[in-house]
Structure 1
Amino acid sequence: MVAAPVLEELREVCQPQAKLASRNGEHWAGRLYMRRVSLRFTRQLVRTRVTPDQLTWTMVVCGVLSGAALLIPGLTGAVLAALLMQLFLLFDCVDGEVARWKGQNSATGIYVDRLGAYLADAALMIGFGFRAAESGLGGWAGFNGWVSLGLATALGVVLLKASTDLVDVARARRGLAVADDEATAPRSQGVASLRRLAAAFKIHRVTNGIEASLVLLAVAALDAATGGVGPTRWALAAIAAITWLMVPAHLLSILSSSRLR
């Protein structure tokens, strides 16, 4: 078997600083801890025949299963969902690292990677809705209401991701290069101030599946302590409100920036 590459050499190729430093190109958890873990997995995987696309599909499966795990009642389901979302993040790091080392970047991999992000976050929010309806209080109508709120939150999360990805689509169709971080700055001072305020509190992060899974884990512990699903319901309602406040705000931010110019 081929010898494992030296970590420093692997890091130089697989974790380019331009990507890690990009505000939109790297999740904060990746910079904080997961890239340290992923490089050790990548070091072994590059010695095998596994392809980046296979790792990307594994990422997708972990993300979808994270939402499905929430159908398991109690703290067990929440713990499993959070762990699966961490595996989702791990494979999201590893697939790109293996692709860079092996020189096997592909449009298919990029497409499946983005599809996986949509499916994982949506599945988690839908699972959140089923979990909030778990006790059956309010009868069938109450059950439908919480599940519908989870579905509505999933739709909002998908719209947020789609509005970001459609910037690249619009620029590509105009023959423009990918927008850099500077292009995301709003031209309007008012919008820029609101954007800085939102960034300071970072409440937008709860619309991401990784953060949402940690919130859900915390409220599941509260559920266990109180013997109900009240904390989960309050958390879902809060995330739904934040998501749908962000949908028009994010659209305004895009239209008032230089991303489409």
Structure 2
Amino acid sequence: MPKPSVAELRPVVHPAGLKDRRSGEHWAGRLYMREISLRWTRHLVNTRISPNQLTYLMIVAGVAAGAALLVPGLTGAILGALLIQLYLLLDCVDGEVARWRKQTSITGVYLDRVGHYLCEAVLLAGFGLRAADLFHRDGAGATTEWQWAFLGTLAALGAILIKAETDLVDVARTRSGLPAVTDEASVPRSSGLALARRAAAALKFHRLVGGVEASLVMLAAGIADAVHGDLLFTRAAVVLLAAIAVLQTVLHLVSILASSRLR
């Protein structure tokens, strides 16, 4: 069977509204990755690789990104960032292959969500271990400073809880026999909270604990550390990401409870 062209693929695998989804499409997907993924997808749609297998590969790439951060020096930061880009690519490709073959499934959606939970948590935990100087980059007599690993784990827990808070809205509504939440229901009933939510959305600081954004922060910290000669910037970034994760966990929960999403 001949490979479909990009022009043939696009209307099927990128249906109207895909790139405009309010919370379902990453900015990097809209900016460049969806165009790259189309070129990969056209080579994969006629193979025996299933969409779920591609999702498993996505998870492997994401977990490997967290493990790569344990490689000392700038090399580890670069590997982590590159593997997260591969993770994002596979996250696009698995759905595109599924749509072309008409093999979309609840299992695929479930695996995708589990993959995002796991990979973003592993990335942040790996960053904490990197900051802890697990392999004593700062000197032969150095000891591992586990407080940095704790902060990385705290950031990972926050990233998981933020996603769980969103997903559990659908769980709660389904168990109560309610339809899926609408965008209008996400607006807080309090005008003050609504203003604060719009300000937070405009600043987009909460995105820094997402996989792609976090990997770029880690890469920037790795470059700065290479110039400075220690782990100062990596450790500062771990503190920043942990603080954002904890704060966003609380604010997101308050935002949900103050909106109409659970009504």
The match for 1:89 is 88
Structure 1 runs (4+) greater than 4 angstroms displaced: 135-140
**1:10 Cα deviation after fit:** 1.2
Residue 180 (str. 1) matches residue 179 (str. 2): no
Is the 1:42–1:94 Cα contact (8 Å) retained in structure 2? yes
TM-score (normalised: structure 1): 0.95
Is the 2:138–2:230 Cα contact (8 Å) retained in structure 1? no
Residue 67 (str. 1) matches residue 66 (str. 2): yes
The match for 1:160 is 162
**1:139 Cα deviation after fit:** 6.0
Q: Aligned partner of 2:167: which letter?
A: D
Quote the Cα distance in structure 1 between the aligned partners of 2:80 and 2:219: 8
SS at match of 1:17: coil
Q: Which one of the candidate residues 139, 146, 149 is aligned to 1:144? A: 146
The match for 1:104 is 103
**1:16 Cα deviation after fit:** 1.6
Cα RMSD after superposing both structures:
1.5
**1:136 Cα deviation after fit:** 6.1
Quote the Cα distance in structure 2 between the aligned partners of 1:24 and 1:129: 27
Structure 2 residue runs without a partner (length 5+): none
Residue 195 (str. 1) matches residue 211 (str. 2): no
Higher mean alpha-carbon deviation, 102-111 vs 221-230, is at 102-111
Quote the Cα distance in structure 1 between the aligned partners of 2:14 and 2:184: 22
Quote the Cα distance in structure 1 between the aligned partners of 2:138 and 2:148: 10
Cα pair distance change 1:147/1:33, threshold 3 Å:
same
Query: Deviations 1:18-76 (Å, cap 9, x if unpaired)?
Result: 23211111111111110000111111111111110000000000000000000100010
The match for 2:9 is 10
Query: Deviations 1:193-239 (Å, cap 9, x if unpaired)?
Result: 11111112111110101100001000100000000000011111011
**1:249 Cα deviation after fit:** 0.3
Is the 1:136–1:143 Cα contact (8 Å) retained in structure 2? no
Q: Aligned partner of 1:61: which letter?
A: V
The match for 1:233 is 235
Quote the Cα distance in structure 2 between the aligned partners of 1:83 and 1:165: 28
Quote the Cα distance in structure 1 between the aligned partners of 2:173 and 2:197: 23
Instruction: Tell me how many residue pairs correspond in the alignment.
Output: 259
Q: Aligned partner of 1:114: which letter?
A: R
Is the 2:121–2:157 Cα contact (8 Å) retained in structure 1? yes
Quote the Cα distance in structure 2 between the aligned partners of 1:235 and 1:47: 43
The match for 1:33 is 32
Higher mean alpha-carbon deviation, 71-80 vs 106-115, is at 106-115
Q: Aligned partner of 2:196: which letter?
A: L
Higher mean alpha-carbon deviation, 180-189 vs 227-236, is at 180-189
Q: Aligned partner of 1:236: which letter?
A: V
**1:128 Cα deviation after fit:** 0.7
Q: Which one of the candidate residues 234, 244, 250 is aligned to 1:248? A: 250
Query: Deviations 1:68-115 (Å, cap 9, x if unpaired)?
Result: 000100010000000100011001101011111111111211111111
Overall identity of the aligned pairs, in % = 57
Cα pair distance change 1:66/1:22, threshold 3 Å:
same
Cα pair distance change 1:167/1:23, threshold 3 Å:
same
Is the 2:207–2:213 Cα contact (8 Å) retained in structure 1? yes
Is the 1:132–1:229 Cα contact (8 Å) retained in structure 2? yes
Quote the Cα distance in structure 2 between the aligned partners of 1:209 and 1:148: 19
Q: Aligned partner of 1:163: which letter?
A: E
Quote the Cα distance in structure 2 between the aligned partners of 1:236 and 1:253: 25
Quote the Cα distance in structure 1 between the aligned partners of 2:59 and 2:4: 27
